[in-house]
Copies of this chain bind each other. A is one copy, B any other.
């Protein structure tokens, strides 16, 4: 096991979740087992032409970083970002099956009341409402059903923020991944500033945060905030980096504090995907949200093809910073982080320019980052300036 992978395990995180998959393997896989999300029959209304989705996800350990940054600076705005992180982890998975509108949301927040005051809960909830308003302006309708906030300091060290999302949609609109030889892969940038974003986005998403936090940040935070990590992690793996949260880094001519750069709220691609699906539903052979597993995520959704990614975006500043701080092997960086694009679209080459044009209209960089070849097995190659890596 490479050293960095070992670190990952010692910090109690598993990118591949073998145990979890073993525990759920006997459960029903839904109507379309190869779809990106589980699709249920229309339990809500019993119409055979429709189906239902109920999807859960959380901001993961990104809340721990938000906690550190808020404690250091008093900046409550990071909690709005955490709400967005947890929401988008749901929405963008659901968009990968073609669900881009009329979504009902509910939150599940667990907090340690002695550390997380009401103003933080208020900021998370306000962040939720504001994000819903932003999406409404983009023609995407999301409805907040409510949620549960539990005071569970004996369970939660600081705060855990999750959302669950429901949607009902026409079965004819469901996108089931059928990625095939000849497809090109269009990557949608995770960094930069979309027309519907208010600041530069470092591109973080909500995966790899345990590694990023511990590898980048300085040991000073271990002494100061023991509540922000698992005390059973070996001491030398806790905040083993060199950076301070408020240290400025230069990104595209802007100065951004390191903490805020990593905390960039997970970008949603929903407004973009809604427009793309309206125009190109039939020609889109696959939509992959590059979350856990990063650039290898697609491996779970292909059959006997080889996805060659040989024209990725230049590694954005955020991921360079994480790699420089951590010394993590590049091979593993591509498995943990999105490395520049968090959404990929598999289409015939002919429509690629038009798809890219639509994405760019939203202020999001997009490009053909690879292609699909026939193969006797399932394989992903990342050919990058940092090396060529094979994943199976």
CB atoms of A20 and B149 under 8 A apart: yes
Nearest opposing residue in chain B for A232, CB measure: B114
Q: Which residues of B contact A230 (CB under 8 A)?
A: 112, 114, 153-154
In the complex, what residues of B have CB within 8 A of residue A11's CB?
153-154
A153 lies within 8 A of B113 (CB): no
Bound-state CA distance A166–B145 (Å) is 10
**Other-chain contact of A63, B148, B155, B232 (Cβ < 8 Å):** B155
Give the residues from 7 to 27 in chain A that come closer than 8 angstroms, CB to CB, to chain B.
Answer: 11-14, 17-20, 22-24, 27
Complex CA gap A112/B54 in Å reads 25
User: Is A45's beta carbon under 8 Å from chain B?
Assistant: yes
Interface size of A as a range = 35 or more
The residue that A121 contacts in the complex, of B19, B27, B104, B125, with Cβ under 8 A, is B19
Oligomer copy total: 2
Among the stretches A157-165, A303-311, A338-346, the one at the interface with B is A157-165
Q: Are A19 and B64 in contact (CB under 8 A)?
A: no
> Shortest Cβ distance from A234 into chain B, in angstroms?
11
Task: State the CA gap A50–B162 with chains docked (Å).
Answer: 27
Interchain CB contact under 8 A, B164 and A106:
yes
Closest residue to A47 on the B side, CB-wise?
Answer: B45
Partner of A14, one of B19, B43, B102, B113: B113
Q: A22-B118, A112-B12 are in contact. Are A154 and B157 (CB under 8 A)?
A: yes
A201 within 8 A of B: no
Query: With the chains together, A50 CA to B154 CA distance in Å?
Result: 40
Contact assessment for A108 and B162 in the assembled complex, using a CB-CB cutoff below 8 Å = yes
B118 in contact with A151 (CB, 8 Å)? no
| Bound Cα distance from A227 to B64, whole angstroms | 18
Residues of B within 8 A of A233 (CB): 153-154
A374 at the interface (CB under 8 A from B): no
Q: Does A208 contact B (CB under 8 A)?
A: no
Candidate in A11, A144, A154 with the most chain B CB atoms within 10 angstroms: A154
A-B contact pairs, 17 of them (CB 8 A): A13-B153, A17-B151, A19-B117, A22-B122, A24-B146, A30-B146, A40-B104, A44-B166, A54-B164, A57-B148, A60-B152, A110-B110, A110-B160, A115-B232, A162-B162, A164-B164, A227-B232
Other than the known A17-B151, A156-B160, what 10 A-B pairs have Cβ atoms closer than 8 Å? A12-B112, A44-B102, A45-B50, A53-B145, A54-B166, A60-B155, A110-B162, A154-B210, A155-B158, A155-B159
